[in-house]
Amino acid sequence: VNRPADQPAITAPDFSHGLVTAVVQDDADGAVLMVAHMNQEAYELTRSTGHAWFWSRSRERLWEKGETSGNHLVVRSITIDCDGDALLLRVAPAGPACHTGARSCFHNPVD
Amino acid sequence: VNRPADQPAITAPDFSHGLVTAVVQDDADGAVLMVAHMNQEAYELTRSTGHAWFWSRSRERLWEKGETSGNHLVVRSITIDCDGDALLLRVAPAGPACHTGARSCFHNPVD
């Protein structure tokens, strides 16, 4: 998706209001795999390592996706949304993204 | 994505920890259009009207996407994630999803 020509480019996420939301999408077919959160350090680790890192709100610590399962996410691209508080990561997943073993965390249909 | 057979089905989002994150994906081609948040009332309005409603954290009020622009989102399906705090809405958008006029809010590439 192209950036509107009349809008200023956003080149970094805005952490001034807290964590940013990261949507993880399979680069191969566009499937949405999971949603997690990043602080500045997780974002920088993601950028420097090429693997997705997040901030766990429940465990209150940094984690590399796949650090125990081996199912890390190789980041192909990162796009920032219009107000800087959400990221879209297109990835090549090394295995199922969900801790349940499902390919995607989104596997509970409503009705 | 199928639900793992050994996991209990989640049939409703969990609002006990606050707002849930809603990822909006174009049902036609899988493009991720925007991320927003829902409280219980926004979720119920979305279910009852078939259009996406959200809770605006900045304006602290319910809003129907497109209420001013006319670019509402017709919801084709809703899927709940493995821990109940994020939703994936597949939609048919009536127009550009971003307030900038871009098709998607995710239009600022990193590097």
Tell me the ipTM for this assembly: 0.94
What's the rounded mean pLDDT across residues A74-88?
A: 97
pLDDT tens by residue, B60-97: 999 999 999 999 999 999 999 999 999 999 999 999 99
Q: How many Å separate Cα A76 from the centre of its chain?
A: 11
Contacts of B86 in chain A (CB under 8 A): 35, 105-106
Mean pLDDT of chain B: 95
Query: Which among B2, B11, B21 is the nearest to A107, CB-wise?
Result: B2
Phi, psi (degrees; rounded to nearest 5) at B41: -65, -40
Whether A99 has its CB under 8 Å from any CB of chain B: the answer is yes
pLDDT tens by residue, A35-51: 999 999 999 999 999 99
Contacts of B88 in chain A (CB under 8 A): 32, 106
Sign of the CA dihedral running B81, A64, A20, B18: positive
pLDDT at B101 > cutoff 70: yes
A79 token code pair: 């796009």
Contact B38, B64 (CB under 8 A): no
Contact B34, A81 (CB under 8 A): yes
Mean pLDDT of chain A: 95
Contact B105, B97 (CB under 8 A): yes
Contact B28, B8 (CB under 8 A): no
pLDDT tens by residue, A2-36: 667 777 889 999 999 999 999 999 999 999 999 99
Amino acid at B106: F
Nearest chain B residue to A58 by CA: give it.
B17
Contact B38, B20 (CB under 8 A): yes
pLDDT at B7 > cutoff 90: no
Which of A34, A47, A81, A87 has the most B C-beta neighbours within 10 Å, making it the best mutation to test the interface with B?
A81
CB neighbourhood size of B49 (10 A): 13
pLDDT at B46 > cutoff 80: yes
Q: How many Å separate Cα B84 from the centre of its chain?
A: 14
Share above pLDDT 70 across residues of chain B, in percent, rounded to a whole number: 97
Provide the whole-model pTM.
0.95
pLDDT of residue A108: 96
B48 token code pair: 């009852």
Query: Which among B9, B47, B101 is the nearest to A4, CB-wise?
Result: B101
Q: How confident is the model at residue A107 (pLDDT cuts 50, 70, 90)?
A: very high
- Our CA-based measurement puts residue B68 at a distance from the nearest CA of chain A, in whole angstroms, of 18
pLDDT of residue A105: 97
Whether B109 has its CB under 8 Å from any CB of chain A: the answer is yes
